[in-house]
Amino acid sequence: MNHYGFGSALAIAGLFAAGPLTAQISLPVDVRIPMAPAPFAAAGKIHLVYELHVTNFGRQEMALTGVAAMNAGDRTTLVEYSGEVLAANLRRPGFAPDAADPHKIAGGARAVVFMWVSLDDAGSLPWSLEHRLTFESRDDDGQRVEATVDTEGVEPGPPAVVISAPLRGANWFAFNGPDNVTGHRRALIPVGGRARIAQRFAIDWVQIVDGATHTGDREDNANYHAWGADALAVADGIVVEVKDSIPENVPGIDSRAVPITLETVGGNYVVLDIGDGHYAFYAHLQPGSIVVAPGDRVRRGQVLGLVGNSGNSTEPHLHFHVADAIAPLGSEGVPYVLDRFMLTGRAARTGAPPEMMTPQPRGRELPLANMIVEFR
Ligand SMILES: [Zn+2]
């Protein structure tokens, strides 16, 4: 007992003895990870995708100049962001993405760092992730000072849920699919008093034939290859929410049939409870096409409705994601892997022409952005 008392006394004495530290005993920074990352496989690697919320609790502006994620076990660095790479993976709520001085966090303000860690195999998965953040600020004399904060570890979540494909057939293109910069990935939206990223791993599935999603008149939904495709239950489950009767849009950037609100953003949709706190979300379906109702038990592969162009949608596509709650946007998006698919092509980057390849069977992987896949 004395031992502990003695130790504490020493620690307190040590703290007060630190004269040069004046007022600031630690960097006034709060770092949170709202959602522990669940590991998932994609493109032959294992990935951990999550965010750091970094709040400046001080009055003085600070610049976040470096973020490193480390394996807490062997202290190896798994990913490190600085300079332009950090700027590209950082957003400050309330500031435009292209606002000046992207690294600077004003007193009281927050920055969100979008993390994407890729590992060669499941064997290199850390039991805990630690982070080192480097900041620059000015001291009372205007001198530049650098300081680091080491955060406590966060344990990766359980592995991603395994589901089957939400569609069938060939030439499905993972538009706005998982990567670290898409609108889905960055859609940190406050709903009901909490900011979450329901669409973290969402995909806008469109079907591409000869490099295009439609033939003929681009203002006719029926001319789009995806229109009318069956949206399929990805697992046995219970239908927990259905929205119907929102008319379809004329395809186009500014041609929504109804004002876009929290109620209409997903268009006609189905939410399927697939167990273990996982909810599959199917958005933008054709009005009148949904053949299930809340409370229905469905089997994997069963048709739920038809792909359409309702809600916040510019052309017929299936927006699909899995989240941890029923509310389509008031939930956290969780990773999922498809039991099997054929990888048949890929665009090098968003906007680049997709190129077909020798088909590769893939198992228990999440399709990534701009992949073209076939579901059997
Ligand atoms: Zn979408």
In the three-class reduction of DSSP (H, G, I as helix; E, B as strand; rest coil), residue 57 is classed as coil
Q: Are residues 108 and 138 in the same domain?
A: yes
pLDDT confidence of 119, banded at 50, 70, 90?
very high
Residue 354 reports pLDDT greater than 60? yes
Rounded mean pLDDT, 247-253: 94
Distance 340 CA to ligand 1 centre (A): 22
Half-sphere exposure of residue 209: CA atoms within 13 angstroms, side-chain side: 9
Distance (Å) from CA 313 to ligand 1 centroid = 8
3-class DSSP state for residue 6? helix
Same domain, 29 and 103: yes
Q: For residues 357 and 367, give the distance between their C-alpha atoms in angstroms, rounded to a whole number.
A: 15
With a cut of 90, say whether residue 20 has pLDDT above it: no
The alpha carbon of 194 and the centre of ligand 1 are apart by a number of angstroms equal to: 20
Are 136 and 183 within one domain? Answer: no
169 lies in the same domain as 140: no
- Residue 273's alpha-carbon distances to 21, 63, 134, 183, 278, in angstroms, are 54, 43, 42, 25, 6
Find out whether 365 and 354 touch, Cβ atoms under 8 Å: no
Residue 296 in any domain: the answer is yes
Q: What are the φ and ψ backbone dihedral angles of 289, each rounded to 5 degrees?
A: -95, -10
Residue 3 Cα to ligand 1 middle (Å): 59
Whether residue 172 contacts residue 372, with contact meaning beta carbons closer than 8 Å, is answered with yes
Q: How far is Cα 173 from Cα 370, in angstroms, rounded to an integer?
A: 6
Quickly state the pLDDT bin for 8 (edges 50, 70, 90). very low
CA distances from 288 to 171, 209, 293, 315 (A): 26, 27, 12, 18
Looking at residue 24, what is its pLDDT? Answer: 55
What is the 200 CA–ligand 1 centroid distance (Å)? 10
Q: How confident is the model at residue 64 (pLDDT cuts 50, 70, 90)?
A: very high
Q: What is the mean pLDDT of residues 347-376?
A: 94
CATH code: domain of residue 253? 2.70.70.10
Percentage of residues of the chain with pLDDT beyond 90: 83
Comparing 3-7, 113-117, 342-346, 369-373, the range with the smallest average pLDDT is 3-7
Distance, CA 107 to ligand 1 centroid (Å)?
A: 34
Q: Are residues 127 and 178 in the same domain?
A: no
> 91-105: per-residue pLDDT in tens?
999 998 788 899 999
Q: Output the domain CATH number for residue 127.
A: 2.60.40
Of 246, 237, 240, 285, residue with least CA distance to 264: 246
Whether the per-residue pLDDT at 5 is higher than 50: the answer is no
pLDDT at residue 357 above 50?
A: yes
Distance 318 CA to ligand 1 centre (A): 8
Distance between CA atoms of 310 and 90, rounded to whole angstroms? 32
Per-residue pLDDT, averaged over 256-265, amounts to: 92
Q: What's the pLDDT band for 116 if we cut at 50, 70, 90?
A: very high
| Total of domains in the chain | 2
One domain for residues 114 and 142:
yes
Report d(CA 167, CA 171) in Å as an integer.
11
Q: Is the C-alpha dihedral spanning 228, 229, 230, 232 positive or negative?
A: negative
* Same domain for 211 and 138: no
CA of 224 to the centre of ligand 1 (A): 17
pLDDT at 255: 87
Asked whether residue 325 falls in the same domain as residue 254, the answer is yes
Distance CA 189, CA 197 (A): 6
Mean pLDDT of 222-226: 98
Domain ranges, residue 298: 161-375
Considering the domain architecture, whether residues 134 and 196 belong to the same structural domain is answered as no
- Give the range among 33-42, 252-261, 265-274 with minimum mean pLDDT: 252-261
pLDDT interval class at 349 (50, 70, 90): confident
104 and 239 inside one domain:
no
98, 127, 150 - which closes a domain: 150
Domain boundary at 84, 115, 150, which? 150
**Distance (Å, rounded) from C-alpha 313 to C-alpha 284?**
7
Instruction: Give the pLDDT confidence of 159-190 residue by residue, as tens digits.
Output: 999 999 999 999 999 999 999 999 999 999 99
* Å from CA of 312 to ligand 1 middle: 8
Instruction: Yes or no: say if 16 and 23 are a contact pair by the CB < 8 Å rule.
Output: no
Q: How confident is the model at residue 14 (pLDDT cuts 50, 70, 90)?
A: very low
Residue 25 has what pLDDT?
Answer: 63
Report residue 76's pLDDT band, with 50, 70 and 90 as the boundaries: very high
